[in-house]
């Protein structure tokens, strides 16, 4: 109450010798918790009451997890952080603007010691719509089991972004471009996607994946055993991958995604990407089609898989799982590999044993 009204407390005018006596009593455990506190003397007329005679050390009787009951007096945040910065010879302090008052407190302490305060830069809060960025709330959700950990795909922590396939270079460049500003900013996922895509697109291998597959039999097609496709359409030096073709009663067997199949009707001509054009003839439990031609036509293009396809589970950003079939080459990828599933999106391989799973990053 005295501090808030700008009035001195009764012990503020005590001599240095008396304060030292009381300090030794604190160290000896002669006060109860809350019975004494060390404060940093400041201007009682400071416009912000939080800066006036702020508390620096207090008494804690509870055992410390490392040193037990060895010390009864412990520093509070501003004393501890301020002293640490000096002892570690910190030259620049970069922290959220909510610490502006803490900087004022620490500067006064540095003046008392005759130290030079580091260069300090405050920045505004960076938020993302629909994402919990609060460390306190995140910890609570992890403890309650609502999140699996700090790398849960529903989070925007560095661990979660890494697990989804966001490159550190993309995050770093985005932060550089945003810059340090005290103004609160809202960052969209699309912005982050664009930075990551710019780096990934030239280096990520391409693969076919069909979600919720539908079987397609094509009669009359060429008797091919495999298709050889570039790993990256613009970089032949990256090599090729092989897609085996399988047959059933002399018909070529393919699988296309249910979403692609849902837009078709009997009589439609479409292209199995990078392979052939076919004409749909039936839509029973198994789709039936006939071979049309090989040359590229102005018709819808669909991803496909055939012989040796492997089951792949893709974990989406909302933690839902989409299951489908991927071309055989995907089975040879390693945990941590980031690839593009064509017309689906970039994914990062998350596990290969006991099953093949990937985390969806973005389109």
The tens digit of pLDDT for each residue in 34-86 reads 999 999 999 999 999 999 999 999 999 999 999 999 999 999 999 999 999 99
Per-residue confidence at 186, pLDDT binned at 50, 70, 90?
A: confident
Whether 132 has a pLDDT exceeding 80, the answer reads no
Closest CA relative to residue 316, chosen from 288, 290, 347 = 347
Closest CA relative to residue 316, chosen from 354, 342, 350 = 350
Q: Report how far apart the first and last C-alpha atoms of the chain are (Å, whole number).
A: 58
Topology of domain 16-122, CATH: 3.90.800
Share of the chain above pLDDT 70, in %: 100
The CATH homologous superfamily to which domain 213-302 belongs is Ribosomal Protein L25; Chain P (2.40.240.10)
Whether 336 has a pLDDT exceeding 90, the answer reads yes
The tens digit of pLDDT for each residue in 137-171 reads 999 999 999 999 999 999 999 999 999 999 999 99
Phi, psi for 100 (deg, rounded to 5) = -60, -40
Per-residue confidence at 228, pLDDT binned at 50, 70, 90?
A: very high
The total number of residues written for the chain in this structure: 363
Per-residue confidence at 329, pLDDT binned at 50, 70, 90?
A: very high
89 Ramachandran zone, left/alpha/beta (phi>0; psi -120 to 50) = left
The tens digit of pLDDT for each residue in 280-313 reads 999 988 999 999 999 999 999 999 999 999 999 9
Looking at the domain covering 126-200, what would its CATH class be? mainly alpha
Domain boundaries, the chain: 16-122, 126-200, 213-302, 310-362
Any idea which residue has 């959700």 for tokens?
A: 141
Contact 93, 121 (CB under 8 A): yes
Per-residue confidence at 129, pLDDT binned at 50, 70, 90?
A: confident
Whether 350 has a pLDDT exceeding 80, the answer reads yes
Whether 198 has a pLDDT exceeding 80, the answer reads yes
Q: How far apart are CA 169 and CA 146, in angstroms?
A: 30
Per-residue confidence at 134, pLDDT binned at 50, 70, 90?
A: confident
205 Ramachandran zone, left/alpha/beta (phi>0; psi -120 to 50) = beta
Looking at the domain covering 310-362, what would its CATH class be? mainly beta
Per-residue confidence at 131, pLDDT binned at 50, 70, 90?
A: confident
Whether 180 has a pLDDT exceeding 90, the answer reads no
User: Mean of the pLDDT values across residues 320-339?
Assistant: 98
Comparing 246 with 184, the larger pLDDT belongs to 246
Per-residue confidence at 340, pLDDT binned at 50, 70, 90?
A: very high
CB neighbours of residue 271 within 10 Å: 21
User: Mean of the pLDDT values across residues 112-129?
Assistant: 92
The reply to whether 310-362 shares the fold of 213-302 is yes
């Amino acid at each position: 109450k005295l501090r808030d009204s700008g009035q001195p407390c009764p012990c503020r005018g005590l001599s240095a010798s008396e304060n030292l006596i009381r300090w030794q009593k604190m160290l000896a455990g002669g006060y109860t918790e809350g019975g004494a506190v060390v404060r940093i003397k400041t201007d009682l007329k400071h416009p912000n009451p939080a800066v006036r005679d702020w508390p620096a050390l207090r008494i804690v009787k509870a055992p410390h997890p490392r040193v037990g009951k060895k010390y009864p007096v412990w520093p509070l945040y501003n004393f501890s952080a301020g002293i640490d910065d000096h002892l570690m010879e910190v030259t620049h302090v970069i922290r959220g603007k909510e610490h502006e008052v803490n900087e004022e407190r620490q500067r006064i302490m540095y003046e008392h010691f005759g130290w030079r305060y580091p260069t300090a830069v405050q920045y505004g809060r960076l938020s993302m719509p629909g994402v919990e960025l609060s460390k306190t709330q995140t910890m609570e959700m992890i403890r309650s089991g609502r999140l699996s950990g700090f790398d849960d795909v529903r989070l925007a922590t560095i661990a979660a972004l890494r697990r989804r396939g966001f490159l550190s270079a993309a995050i770093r460049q985005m932060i550089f471009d945003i810059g340090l500003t005290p103004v609160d900013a809202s960052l969209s996922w699309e912005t982050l996607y664009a930075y990551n895509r710019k780096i990934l697109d030239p280096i990520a291998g391409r693969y076919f994946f069909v979600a919720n597959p539908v079987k397609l039999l094509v009669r009359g097609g060429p008797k091919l055993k495999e298709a050889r496709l570039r790993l990256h359409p613009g970089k032949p030096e990256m090599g090729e991958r092989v897609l085996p073709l399988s047959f059933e009663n002399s018909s070529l067997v393919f699988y296309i995604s249910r979403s692609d199949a849902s837009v078709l009707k009997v009589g439609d001509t479409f292209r199995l990407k990078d392979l052939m054009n076919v004409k749909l003839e039936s839509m029973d439990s198994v789709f039936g089609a006939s071979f049309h031609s090989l040359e590229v036509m102005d018709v819808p293009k669909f991803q496909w898989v055939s012989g040796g396809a492997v089951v792949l589970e893709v974990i989406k950003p909302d933690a839902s799982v989409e299951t489908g079939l991927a071309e055989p080459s995907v089975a040879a990828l390693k945990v941590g590999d980031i690839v593009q599933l064509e017309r689906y999106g970039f994914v990062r391989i998350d596990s290969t044993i006991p099953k093949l799973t990937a985390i969806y990053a973005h389109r």
